[in-house]
Structure 1
Amino acid sequence: MTRDIVRSAKAPSSPFFSQGVKAGPFIFVSGTVGTDPSNGQLAGDSIRDQTRQALTNCEAILEAAGTGLGDVVEVGVLLGNPSDFAELNEEYARWFPQDPPTRYVAKLGVDLPGILVSIRMTAFIS
């Protein structure tokens, strides 16, 4: 099985992890926050703004791998503040309006100033 690093100029990057990895028919997208890659700043201070940008970033990484949100089979969400769950769901539902992938939501384990959400995904390309 081959393992290829996925890179997108349309999503934030880090020297500490790959944006995504393609392994066989799977694309694994790293935990991605709501940073706007055009200016390196958080997209806003609301959970909706950051969720929207994190999902935009994940989508850009998937597109760089030759796939899209329709192939996502699993999503992991880490929330800085669990009380943001309802607002997270409102934005999330706009991205996956029908037959959403499996998902888990947990509390973000580290305190990163200003970061309200981190989202990771797994896609399957048949």
Structure 2
Amino acid sequence: MPKTIVHSPLVAKPVNPHSQATMAGNHFYTATVATDVNGKPVGIGDIRAQTRQALQNLSHLLAAAGGSLDDVARVMIYLTDMRHFAGMNEVYAEFFKGDSLPSRATVTGSMGMPELLVEFDVIAYIER
């Protein structure tokens, strides 16, 4: 199964040693946060704005791989504080709805950038 790197010019280039996303066969892997195309955090202190930005980044990466949000199979959500759950969930429901909801889990943890409140670790299956 060949591995390929996925890149979108609409998402910030990583500053750490990792790719924006990876395809291994038809399996897509990524983790997204609320940064703009220049890598600057957006929506500081606003879980809804950060969730929206992180999920828009996810959408851009899926599109670059030939997929969409409907292809997402699993989402691991990391929140810095569980008090952000309701706001995150409200925006999450704008992106994921209908009959193709992925499985998911939500846990708390710290982020690499202290301004970030949420991170999405995503696995998708994209038919090619």
Same fold (TM over 0.5): yes
Percent sequence identity over aligned pairs:
39
Task: Give the distance between the partners of 1:110 and 1:118, measured in 2 at CA.
Answer: 8
With 54-63 and 95-104 compared, the bigger mean Cα shift is at: 95-104
Is there any run of 5+ residues in structure 2 with no aligned partner, and where?
none
How many residues are paired up?
124
Aligned to 2:6: 6
User: Structure 2 counterpart of 1:52, which letter?
Assistant: R
Aligned to 2:22: 21
Aligned to 2:68: 68
CA contact (8 A) 2:74 2:124 kept: yes
Aligned to 1:43: 42
> How far is the alpha carbon of 1:122 from its aligned partner?
1.0
Aligned to 1:93: 93
Question: Is the partner of 2:88 in helix, strand or coil?
Answer: helix
Deviations 1:20-51 (A, max 9, x none): 1111111111x2110111x4322212000000
**CA RMSD, aligned part only?**
1.4
Task: Give the distance between the partners of 1:44 and 1:4, measured in 2 at CA.
Answer: 31
CA contact (8 A) 1:51 1:92 kept: yes
Deviations 1:60-108 (A, max 9, x none): 1111111111111111111011110011100000101213100111112
Task: Give the distance between the partners of 1:111 and 1:26, measured in 2 at CA.
Answer: 26
TM-score, normalization: structure 2? 0.90
Is there any run of 5+ residues in structure 1 with no aligned partner, and where?
none
